[in-house]
Amino acid sequence: MRKRIVRIAVSLAAVAGATAAMALPAHAASAGAGLTFYQGTFATPVLHVAEPDGACTAFPASADSLAAAGGVEQVLAFRSADCAGAAVGLGTLRTFPAGEYHSFRAF
């Protein structure tokens, strides 16, 4: 019984730590609502869109991560410069190889 309680406590601590670690990049973007692209895996902001409206926008070439807050529900990325072709749903907290996408729409 004691061993089981220790396992549960360790599991809960691990989940709490992982949740806190995942919240750090989101917190950095929540300083201003909207969508923020970063280079260096959430290290340096390269583009902030305060109120994304779904318009086709150029993807920052050096960006390798993004975080969204304040009502942004989805970021669709495209390998073309004009939001044509297949869209890739990036969600609202994601890393990706820099230079992979050339345009995006955020809602």
Any domain includes 16: no
pLDDT at 35: 97
| 49 domain-assigned | yes
- Tens of pLDDT, residues 86-103: 999 999 999 999 999 999
Do 95 and 64 meet the contact criterion of CB atoms below 8 Å apart? yes
pLDDT digits (tens, 9 = 90+) for 59-78: 999 999 999 998 899 999 99
Report how far residue 3's alpha carbon sits from residue 58's, in angstroms, rounded to the nearest whole number.
55
Q: How many domains does the chain have?
A: 1
Give residue 94's domain range: 34-102
Whether 27 is covered by a domain: the verdict is: no
Report angle CA 12, 90, 98 to the nearest 5 degrees. Answer: 105
Q: Is residue 39 part of a domain?
A: yes
Contacting residues for 92 by C-beta, under 8 A, at least 6 apart: 66, 67, 68, 69, 72, 73, 74, 75
In a domain, 66, yes or no: yes
- Return the structure tokens found at 11: 């599991």
The answer to whether residue 28 sits within a structural domain is no
Tokens coding 83: 């939001």
**Quick one: pLDDT band at residue 56, thresholds 50, 70, 90?**
very high
Choice among 14-18, 42-46, 77-81, 82-86 with the minimum mean pLDDT: 14-18
Q: Is residue 53 part of a domain?
A: yes
Number of H helices and E strands in the chain, helices first, is 1, 8
Which residues neighbour 68 within 8 Å (Cβ) at sequence distance 6 or greater? Answer: 29, 34, 35, 36, 52, 75, 92, 93, 106
Q: Residue 95 domain-assigned?
A: yes
